[in-house]
Structure 1
Amino acid sequence: MNLINDEEFQATCFVVIDFETTTPAGHRPEPIDVATLALRQQADQLVETGRFTALIRPPEHAPLTRLDTEQTGITPDMLRGQPDAATVLARLDTRLDEPPYLLVAHNAPTEVGILYDYRDACPRLAATDLLDTVRLARAIYPDLTSHRLDLLIHHLGIPWPTDRHRAMPDVEATAEVFRRILQHAATTSRWRTLRQLRADAGVDAKGGKPEQGALF
């Protein structure tokens, strides 16, 4: 059986997600740009069924820095007047109304941490498990010296994204990496079910797990 014939895989909507962030000293990363791209299996391919993108005004303790602007092209003027992260992620959360979903991210623990930090605003997102394309790439391309997104784009012959390090171009590149990995895997029968895919590359959501209460 091929992965695309697995009923669980066919039923799942894969939501590729990426954040660009500021990294304030002594604090956790704060999002300034988010994008998602939804993929569902149709016939023998993953087809885009929706997308979302928004800029985010960071909190006062996490201002945009010159280095952030140099990397992303995002300027303070672009963020002035934008909604905060809780508002944006709450809006995105309302779109997850046709489960089941799996998030897909490159280096997924970063997204896990941000969604957990804003779990009150986006409870469905924060409770949705992920597939990590870094782990998928390690499983299917073990001989590569690195599995960074830049190297995978080059290795797979994907056109270089315009505005690399903005959330939507990075999501589009990650979605194409995801597609190419699954296409390659189909020739090897590496994964026959979504359960096997998750065993190799799954990352548990933190928002869906009960918090440890105080002992005393």
Structure 2
Amino acid sequence: MGQQRHETSANGGFMGVTNDPAFLATTFVVIDFEATTPKGYPAQPIEVAALALRYEQGAWTTVGTSSSLIRPPAFAPVTPAVTAQTGLTPEQVRQAPSPAEALGALDRRFAAGKQYLLVAQHAATEANIIYNQREHCTALARIDLLDTIPLAKHLVPGLPNHKLDTLLAHFAIKQPADRHRAYADVEVTAQVFVRLVSAADEDAQLSDLAALVKIAGRTAKCNMPAQGVFDI
């Protein structure tokens, strides 16, 4: 895949987060799902996109991308409301790969032994979808997440809210024409994340990756301790 350079971040007079060895060893995978929300069932994915970033030699590099439509089960059709929000129609997903095919293909992109963190806007949504589809993406399901919302709340606290559109306006990032499609949202979320890391580099409280995780980290559900069961 071709590599793409992104803006560099400045480091003040201290060692910023982008000098942390753990940060430099991590591939940050920005991920987004579009989904249907059938009554009585968890959200069912109809599209997934991912964009992998690494910080190398003072700049961000895109090291991989992935995007796929996903065919939902019969109990979770694409509704007019979903079409109004995403632009996706029932016809577009009817011949799409199954969840096992689409998420299995994405799962195989993660190399064993490498350090990854998923990045998402309102990461609980992505975390829940991944957990519910974990049989199709066992590697993906064990990757912890960073949520851009609490990170933005810490770094740009004066905004009226920290929704993606608000952050795009704050950082003067152009709204994509196909906003609410998975890959378009991944691309602009990645730009927001890059700018947040740049801001973190200027924050003496955020000197390493562990500090970012403390503020904005979310443990993957598959990595949480199992609840104990007592025989009575």
Which whole-Å CA distance do the structure 1 matches of 2:226 and 2:20 have between them?
33
The answer to whether the aligner puts 1:24 opposite 2:38 as a matched pair is: yes
* Contact 1:123–1:207 under 8 Å retained in 2: no
Q: Does 1:209 align with 2:209?
A: no
Question: Within 2, Cα distance between the matches of 1:156 and 1:194?
Answer: 22
Whether the 8 Å contact between 1:115 and 1:207 is mirrored in structure 2 is no
Q: Distance in 1 between matches of 2:21 and 2:144?
A: 18
Instruction: Please name the residue that 1:104 is paired with.
Output: 119
Q: Is the 8 Å Cα contact of residues 16 and 202 (structure 2) preserved in structure 1? A: no
| Partners of 1:70 and 1:109 in 2: CA distance | 23
Q: Which of residues 124, 145, 162 in structure 2 aligns to 1:130?
A: 145
Which residue among 6, 17, 29 is the counterpart of 1:3?
17
Q: Please give the alpha-carbon distance, in whole angstroms, between the structure 1 residues aligned to 2:74 and 2:216.
A: 35
Query: One-letter code of the match for 2:176?
Result: P
Q: Secondary structure at the match of 2:222?
A: coil
Residues 16-47 of structure 1, C-alpha deviation per residue, up to 9 Å, x if partnerless? 00000101111110100100000001111221
Structure 1 match to 2:101: 87
Task: Specify the SS of the correspondent of 1:147.
Answer: coil
Q: Which one of 166, 173, 196 corresponds to residue 188 of structure 2?
A: 173
- Match for 1:24: what amino acid? P
Whole-Å separation in 2 of the counterparts to 1:210 and 1:197:
22
Per-residue deviation, 1:209: 3.1
Q: What SS is found at the alignment partner of 1:207?
A: helix
Helix, strand or coil at the partner of 2:224: coil
Aligned pairs for 1:23-102 within 5 A: 23-97=37-111, 99-102=114-117
The Cα offsets for residues 24-76 of structure 1, whole Å up to 9 and x where unpaired, read as 11111010010000000111122111100000010111100001011111111
Mapped to 2, the partners of 1:50 and 1:5 lie a distance apart of 22
How far apart are the structure 2 equivalents of 1:201 and 1:210?
Answer: 20
Residue 163 of structure 1 aligns with which residue?
178
One-letter identity of the residue aligned with 1:40: R
Query: How many angstroms does 1:213 deviate by?
Result: 5.8
TM-score (normalizing by structure 1): 0.96
Gapped regions of structure 1 (runs ≥ 5) = none
What amino acid sits opposite 2:98 in the alignment?
A: D
Q: Which moved more, 1:106-115 or 1:92-101?
A: 92-101
For 1:126 and 1:210, locate their aligned partners in 2 and report how far apart those are by CA, in whole Å.
14
Query: For structure 1, which segment, 68-77 or 203-212, has the greater mean C-alpha deviation from structure 2 after superposition?
Result: 203-212
**Gapped runs of 5+ residues in structure 2?**
1-14
Matched pairs, number: 216
